[in-house]
Structures are given as C-alpha cells and as structure tokens.
Amino acid sequence: MSGTGKERWVTETLYEADGFTCAFRADKMLYEENTAEQHLVIFENRLFGRMMALDGITQVTERDEFIYHEMMTHVPILAHGKVRRTLIIGGGDGGILREVARHKAVEKITMVEIDPAVTEFAKRHMPQVSAGAFDDPRLDLVFADGAKFVEEAGESYDVIIVDSTDPIGPGEVLFREEFYRAAKARLAPGGVIVTQNGVPFMQGAELASTVGKFRRLFRVATCYMATIPTYVGGPMAMGWGTDDESLIAVAPEVLAKRFAEVDFPARYYTPDVHKAAFALPRYVLDLVENA
C-alpha cells in the first residue's frame, strides 16, 4: 500500500522484481487483513469497481471478472458437452462457481478452497461475483489444500478447473507435476483440466512449465487465451490438458448448439471466441511447442 496524505494506492507487485509495477487507487477501503494463509485486501476503485488482492497481486475486479470466469468455465464444459461432475480448485471468490452453476446438466460441483477467509470476505464484500452460487444445492464446498485433496481416493470429475493464485505462497503447490498427476487420476475418461497460467508475455516460464508437465501426462497439452484488462501485460493463458483429442476440435456449429441449449447470458464467451481462443500468436506457440 502507498499514498500521499489520505490517498491510498494498492500496488500490483507481481512483476516488481523485474522492474515493473502498476497501482490502483483505493477510493474506499473495505477490508484488509493478514489471514492464516495470505494478506488480503478488498477495496473500491473508480474504474474497476470493487477489487480483491492477495499478497499484493490482483485477483478479481467487479468490472472485468466476467471475462476470466466465463472463459475458464464455458470453454472446457462446452467442449466436453456431457459434463456431470466438476471440480474447482481455488476460486474462493465464487466466480467460477457462478459460471459452472449456469450449466443445469452439471449434477455436482465440488469446490476446494484453502483459505476460508477469502470466501467469507468475498461473499460479504463482493457478493455480485458469486451471485448466490454458494447456495446452490449441487455445491460441495471443502476448505482444504487442493493438492492434498486430489491425492486422496475419491470420485472422478469430467472437468477440473484450477483457479489458483500465481505460483507464489499457497498457490505454488498447484503448479507442481505431482499435483497435475494426481489431478489427472481424478479425471473421468474424456475429461479435461484447465489451469490459470498468467500472462505469457510477462510470465512465459510459468506457461511453458505447465505445458511441459502436461505434455508428459496428457495426449493434448496446450493453452487458450483471453484478454482481461486487470491482468496487465497482454492476453492471459489458460492451460489445457486432456487425453481426448476431439475436445479441441469441436466444430463451431456444435458449440453453438450446446451453448443455445444451456441458455444463459454471457458477456464475453461466444462459440466463435471459443474457437479463436486456441489460435495462438507466434510467441505463445514458441513457448508451448518448446515446453
């Protein structure tokens, strides 16, 4: 946090060691605490609305969260086409949960969040993100270490969405090969895992590391992209791992039919955007192909 007089700014520290920061003015501070796991701050900014940061890294903003949450969720679910069970690792703000819950054919949603404080304060100070999804009867909310959860014997899932923080602090374990291997063991046949892999222009090593590990585990290991203004430095990458080669090649007309059948409003996702998201620029292809 920084500021002059009464004006306070929340500084994005993710790239500070590399010589770059940006800052958001905290027009109104709503909450700030060192939880058992991390430093959490929730505040209001005139441009982005309510925002949440963990350990100096922006996690979610009221204005642009829909882009990230829609693309992390609808791409794997609509590519699969027959999802009944979904596992969310992380995602304490409830945005991924909200989008999964829009799919009425999903019978069970398991969500594993390591820090109860994140969920509690997001529900209290940013309820518009979850939009009541925490009350969905299909939800099984577990407060535990996501890496340990997938290592335990249990049910399998058609889609696993890893909505993690960056590989710093509590989120670091969710980028290890041991976690990906255990997660794969919890995937049902034809299942797919999707991961948050940062902005490849700024965090290329992170994406390359995940895709390299996926390549040792899955027949298909790649990523797709979406542009979220809050996550500075260019488009964001979502890692994609599956043994079902057909999921990445679903025709736009099939996606359109599936999208029409679920009948919910989307502000970013379209079937055409879905397909285009897998068309990677050369610098990202280099990271993926050389991982």
Structure tokens at 234: 């260019």
Q: Are 184 and 217 in contact (CB under 8 A)?
A: yes
pLDDT at position 65 is 97
In order along its 291 residues, the chain shows pLDDT tens digits of 555 457 899 999 889 989 999 999 999 999 898 877 788 899 999 999 999 898 888 999 999 999 999 999 999 999 999 999 999 999 999 999 999 999 999 999 999 999 898 899 889 989 999 999 999 999 999 999 999 999 997 899 999 999 987 766 666 788 899 999 999 999 999 999 999 999 999 999 999 999 999 999 999 999 999 999 999 999 999 999 999 999 999 999 999 999 999 988 899 999 999 999 999 999 999 999 998
Complete domains list, the chain, with CATH: 8-61 (2.30.140.10), 65-289 (3.40.50.150)
Rounded to whole angstroms, the Cα distance separating 201 from 284 reads: 8
With vertex at residue 238, the alpha carbon angle to CA 11 and CA 143, rounded to the nearest 5 degrees, is 70
Query: Half-sphere exposure of 185 toward its Cβ, with a 13 Å CA cutoff?
Result: 14
Gap between the Cα atoms of 48 and 63, Å rounded: 5
Chain CA centroid to CA 9, Å = 25
pLDDT the model gives residue 152: 92
In this structure, what DSSP letter does residue 281 have?
Answer: -
The CA-based diameter of the chain, rounded to the nearest angstrom, is 58
Give the pairing type, strands 157-163 and 85-90.
parallel
Report the pLDDT value the prediction gives residue 4, as an integer from 0 to 100.
47
List the alpha helices (DSSP H) in 31-185. Answer: 65-80, 95-101, 116-125, 127-130, 146-151, 177-185
Rounded to an integer, what distance in angstroms lies between the CA atom of residue 75 and that of residue 51? 25
Catalytic residues: 163
